[in-house]
């Protein structure tokens, strides 16, 4: 269990609280649980409709963590995922969710139709916040790849158009993907931090 750093109103230590991963995405939850494994046995999830700040990856994730911790009243884990096209100077970046929703896989490819450079970075930033009013801690992972016409199952975001060493994320075995993915790299950092700070 994740130990809360907050005391009770009477000044007594609180009971350990589960760590709440703020997501309503079942695919993302399964992937995070698989990567974290026994490092966070008490991980639960909750979907929250949080307003998203416009700004840098770090600003967006920190703001989301603070809002989530205030609403849940305990330790939270939030994530912001970006897809950064090098030809477009990092766009769509943190706004890829909305581009994907409106344009789909083909639309993401069309954004690069006029460019020879199809390279991209998948970026994942997690923030852990122990509770309301506490500072959040960031963990970032990046994977270099390129944008290609969709291959593999189209069931998980933009995985089908992001290629890494000849395979799209969607074509990869899940365990292999978790070893090299932006999300896996960020969560590896989180696991190390949790081991030192929440024994």
* Length of the chain as a residue count: 199
Q: The pTM is what?
A: 0.83
Radius of gyration of the chain (CA): 18
Q: Which CATH number fits domain 20-197: 3.40.50.12500, 3.90.950.10, 3.40.1280.10, 3.40.920.10?
A: 3.90.950.10
pLDDT tens digits, residue range 124-159? 999 999 999 999 999 999 999 999 999 999 999 999
Burial of 133 (0-12, 13-18, 19+ CB in 10 A): exposed
Q: Does 167 have pLDDT greater than 50?
A: yes
Q: Would you kindly state where each structural domain of the chain is located, as residue ranges?
A: 20-197
- Whether the Cβ atoms of residue 40 and residue 20 lie closer than 8 Å to each other: no
Confidence of residue 15 (pLDDT cuts 50, 70, 90): very low
Confidence of residue 1 (pLDDT cuts 50, 70, 90): very low
Query: Cα torsion at 167, 170, 176, 182 (round to 10°)?
Result: 90
Burial code (b: 16+ CB inside 10 Å, e: under 16) for 30-63 equals: ebbeebbeeebeebebeeeeeeeeeeebeebbbb
Mean of all residue pLDDT scores within the chain: 87
Mean pLDDT is lowest, of 55-59, 62-66, 86-90, 185-189, for 55-59
Closest CA to 184 of 30, 29, 26, 32: 32
CA 148 to chain centre: 22
């Amino acid at each position: 269990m994740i130990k809360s750093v907050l005391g009770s109103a009477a000044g007594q230590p609180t009971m350990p609280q589960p760590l709440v991963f703020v997501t309503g995405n079942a695919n993302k939850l399964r992937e995070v649980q698989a990567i974290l494994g026994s490092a966070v046995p008490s991980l639960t999830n909750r979907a929250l409709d949080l307003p998203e700040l416009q700004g840098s990856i770090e600003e967006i994730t920190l703001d989301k963590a603070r809002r989530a911790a205030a609403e849940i009243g305990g330790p939270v884990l939030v994530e912001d995922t970006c897809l950064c096209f090098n030809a477009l100077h990092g766009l769509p970046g943190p706004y890829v969710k909305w581009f994907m929703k409106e344009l789909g896989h083909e639309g993401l490819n069309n954004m690069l139709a006029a460019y020879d450079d199809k390279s991209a970075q998948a970026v994942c930033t997690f923030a852990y916040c122990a509770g309301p009013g506490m500072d959040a801690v960031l963990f970032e992972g990046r994977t270099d790849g390129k944008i290609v016409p969709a291959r593999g199952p189209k069931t998980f975001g933009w995985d089908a158009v992001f290629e890494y060493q000849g395979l799209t994320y969607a074509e990869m075995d899940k365990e292999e993907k978790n070893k090299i993915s932006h999300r896996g790299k960020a969560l590896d950092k989180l696991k190390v931090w949790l081991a030192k700070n929440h024994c």
